[in-house]
A and B are shown apart, each in its own frame.
Chain A
Amino acid sequence: MTAAVQLSNVSKTFGAGADAVHAFGPVDLAIEGGAFISLLGPSGCGKSTLMLMIAGLLAVSDGEIRVNGERVSKPRTDIGIMFQDNTLVPWRHVEGNIALQLELRGLDPKANQPKIDELLKSVRLEGFAHRMPHELSGGMQQRAAFCQALVHDPKTVLLDEPLGKLDAMTRESIRNDLQALWMQKRPTVVFVTHSIEEAVQLSSRVCVVTPRPGRIDRVIDIDLPWPRDLAVKRSARFANYVADIQGIFHGFGIL
Chain B
Amino acid sequence: MASASSETARLGPRWFDPLSRWAAKSWMFVLFFIGFFLFWEVSIDLFQVPRYILNKPSEILLASRADLPRLLEYTYVTGLEAIIGYVIAIAIAVPLGLAIAFSSILRRTIYPFFVSIEMTPKIAFAPLFISWLGFGLLPKVIIVFLVCFFPIVLNAILAFSSLPDELDRFCRSTGAHWARVFWKVRLPAAMPQCFVGFKYAALNATVGATIAEFIGSDQGLGFYIQISTGNMRPDLAFAGIFLLTLLGLLMFGLVTAAERLLIPWHISVRRNA
Contacts and interface: CB of A to CB of B under 8 A. Distances in A.
Interface stretch (B27-35, B115-123, B162-170): B162-170
A5 to B, nearest CB: 15
Interface string B132-168: 0000000000000000000000000000000010110
A17 interface: no
Contact of B181 (A57, A85, A104): A104
A83 B166 contact: yes
B265 A91 contact: yes
B245 to A, nearest CB: 34
Contacts of A101: 174
Contacts of B167: 87, 89
Interface in A61-95: 75-77, 79, 81, 83, 85-87, 89-91
B173 A75 contact: yes
B51 interface: no
A61 B238 CA distance: 69
A105 B174 contact: yes
B270 interface: yes
Contacts of A85: 164, 166
A105 B177 CA distance: 9
A76 B184 contact: no
A76 B173 contact: yes
B183 to A, nearest CB: 10
A52 interface: yes
B10 interface: no
Given A89-B185, A91-B265, A81 B164 contact: no
Interface in B208-267: 263, 265-267
A87 B263 contact: no
Contacts of A134: 265, 267, 270
B4 interface: no
A39 to B, nearest CB: 17
Contacts of A220: none
A90 B164 CA distance: 13
A79 B169 CA distance: 12
Given A85-B164, A90-B266, A132-B265, A75 B175 contact: yes
Nearest to A107: B174
23 contacts: A75-B173, A77-B174, A81-B169, A81-B170, A81-B173, A83-B166, A85-B164, A85-B166, A89-B185, A89-B188, A89-B189, A90-B266, A91-B266, A100-B184, A100-B185, A103-B184, A104-B171, A104-B181, A104-B185, A105-B174, A105-B176, A106-B180, A134-B267
Interface of A: 52, 55, 57, 75-77, 79, 81, 83, 85-87, 89-91, 100-101, 103-106, 132, 134
